[in-house]
């Protein structure tokens, strides 16, 4: 009998050939074009912007959307793209998540024809970069409390307030910004160069270092009404975007975990201690078996999520359960891999600690671990325990 692969339950056997092709193309891009750059980017705290157009050429940006130059791939292929990007680095997957799920999706779903035509082809091809501003300094888990306010005037809108911890902010050509108005929460497109709009970078991160993060400041920014996303009518529209991105993270985190298991397995087979390979010790095997088991269960969960998404019946609480648990699995796997690598594990020459540090952010953003536990709790009990 052949040895079992890392994909223990052979879930990949259930994927359509075109989805497998998307996966292998993405994996090759990450291996050949991103990985040679990642250590330098991580150390310097930069993102390899030169790869953005290449990602566009490969159809990796907004890949789940139809039209406007988007690839229109299946939910499985979209998930596999996220997984392969995050096998490289969570920062790379973050870039694609934000661009596709948090910027292109709302323009595609809630934008006017003019907004779609102006932005979607450029965002899909990587000729423009977007960011998504929901979180504020005093309103992270509870975005409903946001203070950013857009006041209607004869000319359009005047926007005041701030957003923080925004992925891609320092490099974004356009920001999808959620603000309160007298009519409720609405989405707006704020373009770089708008007077009163600034996007300073947040420095000194110890996590997601190969990703650019910043704040958004709005000081009496004048926006024409044409910059309001006309299909938005409340916080629900912002939460719908989060559902798209969280779906991608439920898949993506598995890529980081797989890379950690690969690294730990290879290391444990080759590292001799007490005259035999680490992999031959029962305690090490228990760790490896636990990692592989959790990873296999995470894959089953992601594959089922894709089927529900394609069927159009995916519920936000199902996404919450999958995002929370798959990220937890990935974080535990990365920490265990780091442990198996001993002192070498803390070096950037290896991958486990980079993934582990990244996954601390992934566990917090797009709804913290605890917020998703509470979403599932609310679904089970009918009682909201957020407040
Ligand atoms: P609540 O009353 O529960 O809901 C308001 C309306 O929205 C609906 N809804 C959703 N719809 C789609 N998807 C979801 N996930 C949804 N969650 C709720 C809900 O049915 C309701 O609809 P209706 O028709 O009844 O009006 O709203 P709430 O204010 O009580 O919020 C609940 C809570 C805490 C779950 C929500 O605020 C939340 O998810 N908080 C977490 C905030 C968060 O995740 N922020 C993420 C910011 S973006 C980011 O982190 C990007 S990281 C980027 C990267 O990858 O680099
Ligand atoms: P808080 O809400 O202050 O939570 C702190 C702690 O309290 C957490 O453990 C939380 O689980 C817990 N907690 C909060 N409320 C409850 C409760 N009701 N019951 C029990 N426990 C609770 N945001 C964007 O809008 N766009 C982006 O592009 C973006 N990118 C990000 C990139 C990075 C690298 C990071 C780290 C964050 C990013 N965020 C972004 C922000 C992210 O979404 C928020 O950090 C997240 O929603 C949590 O908010 P907070 O940091 O204010 O934590």
**Is residue 366 annotated as a catalytic residue, yes or no?**
yes
Q: Is the CB of 141 under 6 A from ligand 1?
A: yes
Q: Ligand 1 atom 35: the closest Cα is on which residue?
A: 375
Structure tokens at 234: 């409340």
Pocket test for ligand 1, best of 97, 166, 242 (most atoms within 8 A of CB): 242
Could you tell me the pTM of the whole model? 0.98
Q: Is the CB of 178 under 6 A from ligand 2?
A: no
Along the 387 residues of the chain, how does pLDDT read in single tens digits? 566 677 899 998 999 999 999 999 999 999 999 999 999 999 999 999 999 999 999 999 999 999 999 999 999 999 999 999 999 999 999 999 999 999 999 999 999 999 999 999 999 999 999 999 999 999 999 999 999 999 999 999 999 999 999 999 999 999 999 999 999 999 999 999 999 999 999 999 999 999 999 999 999 999 999 999 999 999 999 999 999 999 999 999 999 999 999 999 999 999 999 999 999 999 999 999 999 999 999 999 999 999 999 999 999 999 999 999 999 999 999 999 999 999 999 999 999 999 999 999 999 999 999 999 999 999 999 999 998
Q: How far apart are CA 365 and CA 134, in angstroms?
A: 11
How many whole angstroms from its chain centre is CA 281?
36
238 CA from centroid of ligand 1 (Å): 7
Pocket test for ligand 2, best of 140, 178, 242, 362 (most atoms within 8 A of CB): 140
Q: How many CB atoms lie within 10 A of CB 262?
A: 15
Q: Ligand 2 atom 8: the closest Cα is on which residue?
A: 368
Whether 12 and 83 have beta carbons less than 8 Å apart is answered as: no
Whether 106 and 244 have beta carbons less than 8 Å apart is answered as: no
233 CA from centroid of ligand 2 (Å): 23
Which of these is catalytic: 84, 86, 258, 366?
366
Q: Ligand 2 atom 5: the closest Cα is on which residue?
A: 141
Apex CA 172: angle with CA 221 and CA 104, to 5°?
Answer: 100
Q: Is the CB of 240 under 6 A from ligand 1?
A: yes
Whether 38 and 51 have beta carbons less than 8 Å apart is answered as: no
Q: Is 68 left (phi over 0), alpha (psi -120 to 50) or beta?
A: left
Which pLDDT value is given to residue 58?
98
Q: Ligand 1 atom 5: the closest Cα is on which residue?
A: 236
Pocket test for ligand 2, best of 93, 213, 368 (most atoms within 8 A of CB): 368
DSSP 182-250: TTEEEEEEEETT-TTEE-PBP---SS-TTS-EEEEEEEEEEEEGGGB-TT--SHHHHHHHHHHHHHHHH
Residue whose pair of structure tokens reads 């926006």 in the numeric block: 223
Output b/e per residue, 122-141; b: 16+ Cβ within 10 A.
Answer: bbbbbebbbbbbbbbeebbe
Q: Which residues contact 233 (CB under 8 A, 6 or more apart)?
A: 184, 186
365 CA from centroid of ligand 2 (Å): 6
Q: Is the CB of 86 under 6 A from ligand 1?
A: no
Q: Ligand 2 atom 26: the closest Cα is on which residue?
A: 166
For 94-204, strand residue ranges (E) read 130-133, 149-152, 156-167, 174-181, 184-191, 197-198
């Amino acid at each position: 009998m052949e040895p079992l692969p890392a994909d223990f339950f052979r879930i990949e056997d259930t994927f359509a050939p075109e989805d497998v092709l998307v996966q292998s193309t993405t994996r090759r891009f990450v291996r050949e074009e991103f990985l040679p750059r990642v250590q330098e980017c991580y150390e310097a705290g930069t993102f390899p912007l030169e790869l953005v157009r290449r990602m566009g050429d490969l159809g990796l940006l907004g890949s789940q959307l139809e039209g406007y130059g988007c690839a229109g791939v299946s939910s499985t292929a979209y998930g596999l793209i996220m997984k392969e990007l995050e096998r490289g680095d969570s920062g790379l997957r973050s870039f694609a998540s934000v661009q596709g799920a948090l910027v292109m999706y709302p323009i595609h779903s809630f934008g006017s024809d003019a907004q779609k035509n102006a932005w979607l082809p450029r965002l899909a091809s990587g000729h423009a970069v977007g960011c998504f501003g929901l979180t504020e300094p005093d309103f992270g888990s509870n975005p409903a409390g946001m203070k950013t306010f857009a006041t209607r005037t004869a000319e359009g809108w005047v926007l005041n307030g701030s957003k923080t911890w925004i992925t891609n902010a320092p490099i974004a050509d356009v920001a999808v910004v959620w603000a309160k108005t007298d009519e409720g929460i609405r989405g707006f497109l704020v373009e770089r160069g708008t007077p009163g709009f600034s996007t300073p970078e947040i420095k000194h991160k110890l996590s997601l270092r190969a990703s650019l993060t910043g704040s958004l400041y709005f000081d009496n920014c004048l926006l024409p009404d044409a910059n309001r996303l006309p299909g938005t009518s409340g916080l629900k529209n912002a939460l719908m975007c989060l559902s798209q991105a969280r779906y991608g993270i439920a898949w993506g985190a598995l890529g980081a975990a797989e890379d950690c298991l690969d690294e730990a397995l290879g290391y444990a087979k080759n590292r001799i201690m007490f005259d035999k390979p680490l992999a031959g010790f029962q305690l090490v095997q228990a760790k490896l078996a636990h990692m592989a088991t959790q990873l296999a269960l995470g894959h089953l969960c992601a594959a089922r999520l894709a089927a529900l998404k394609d069927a159009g019946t995916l519920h936000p609480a199902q996404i919450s359960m999958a995002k929370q648990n798959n990220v937890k699995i990935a974080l535990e796997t990365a920490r265990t891999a780091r442990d198996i690598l001993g002192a070498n594990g803390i070096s950037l020459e290896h991958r486990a600690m980079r993934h582990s540090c990244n996954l601390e952010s992934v566990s917090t953003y797009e709804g913290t671990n605890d917020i998703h536990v509470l979403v599932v709790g609310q679904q089970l009990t009918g009682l909201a325990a957020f407040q």
